[in-house]
Structure 1
Amino acid sequence: MTPLDSYDRAILRILQTDNRTSQQKIGEAVNLSAPSVQRRVRRMEAEGVIAANVAVVDPAIVGLPITIFVEVELVSELPTDIDAAKQIFRDAPEVQQCFYVTGEIDFVLVVVVESMSAYEEFTRRIFFKNGNIKKFKTFVSMDPIKTGVKVSV
């Protein structure tokens, strides 16, 4: 991977705020030509620095107003059991983010649902029907103060 220089970092800061910013505007902001910006962006995409170009959707506006954080502890931590849990969480559309973590718990999930009854159905389907879930702990978000992923570069 090519080391990131100050131009790359400046481009990334702009793209993380609005990835639809034109290459011309980015070039003006970082003192590069638009073709140079384009080459750098393509390189960073090819090298995986830029992992995706996506639309960040407000869950509440699309009918998913409840965000829930869930700590999950497994019964068995054998690699095959951990991999199976990862796949279950990866496949669940309600799970927006999933982290395999160190410490007393095994996973932290970010779940979005339309209602608490929908969350109850999710817990029955994902946790209670799974013999490898030892326990889970739920935290319901009251107010999303800061969301999204923006890396300081």
Structure 2
Amino acid sequence: MELDRIDRHILMQLQKNNRTPNIELADIVGLSAPACLKRIKRLRDNNVIIGDVAIINPELAGNKLTLVVSVEMERDRADIYNIFRQSILKASEVTQCYQISGSYDFMLIIVVKDIPAYEHFVERVLHTDLNIRKFHTSVSLRTVKFSTEIEMKQ
């Protein structure tokens, strides 16, 4: 789907606050309210907008620990990767998973309440996968930047 300047402007505004009333959003991007609503519907129908979420403070939800886990698989095989991806999709502690290039095959972002909760995740998910050669865990000391916004290139 081709995005024009107005589509990009709508998307940038919605990424900042997707609860902006349509009439206000239309005014910001220079459209009538019905035209703006029609564009948003088109963006959703074409999977440009794939979801609307509330981002909560993990600490207030009881999850005070963020860990970055690099995972190296035993072999480079599609079936092994697929099994691992399926297990990660089921693990609620994993908030992000990236298949990467380089020394490791996957990078996980794990959010848990404490070290015992992480140890439980490791025993339940990582240690039961016999195709994992090794994994490395780094503990986040503080969040310097967290954003879900994607820059819209012209």
**TM-score using structure 2 length:** 0.96
Counterparts of 2:115 and 2:149, CA distance in 1 = 29
Counterparts of 1:142 and 1:24, CA distance in 2 = 42
Q: Which residue of 1 aligns with 2:113?
A: 114
Query: Post-superposition shift, 1:47?
Result: 0.6
1:58-137 equivalence runs, <5 A: 58-137=57-136
Q: Which residue of 1 aligns with 2:12?
A: 13
Query: Post-superposition shift, 1:65?
Result: 1.0
Q: Which residue of 2 aligns with 1:139?
A: 138
Query: Post-superposition shift, 1:23?
Result: 0.8
Counterparts of 2:117 and 2:109, CA distance in 1 = 15
Are positions 1:22 and 2:21 aligned together?
yes
Query: Post-superposition shift, 1:117?
Result: 1.0
Counterparts of 2:84 and 2:104, CA distance in 1 = 13
**TM-score using structure 1 length:** 0.96
TM-superposition CA deviations, 1:50-104 (whole Å, max 9, x none) = 0101111111110011111110000122111100000011110000010111111
Q: Which residue of 2 aligns with 1:54?
A: 53
Counterparts of 1:148 and 1:141, CA distance in 2 = 16
2:62 partner letter: G
**Aligned-pair Cα RMSD in Å:** 0.8
Residue segments in structure 2 that go unaligned for 5+ positions in a row? none
Query: Post-superposition shift, 1:129?
Result: 1.7
SS at match of 2:54: coil
Count of aligned pairs: 152
State the identity as a percent: 36
Runs of 4+ in 1 over 4 A off after TM superposition: none
Q: Which residue of 1 aligns with 2:3?
A: 4
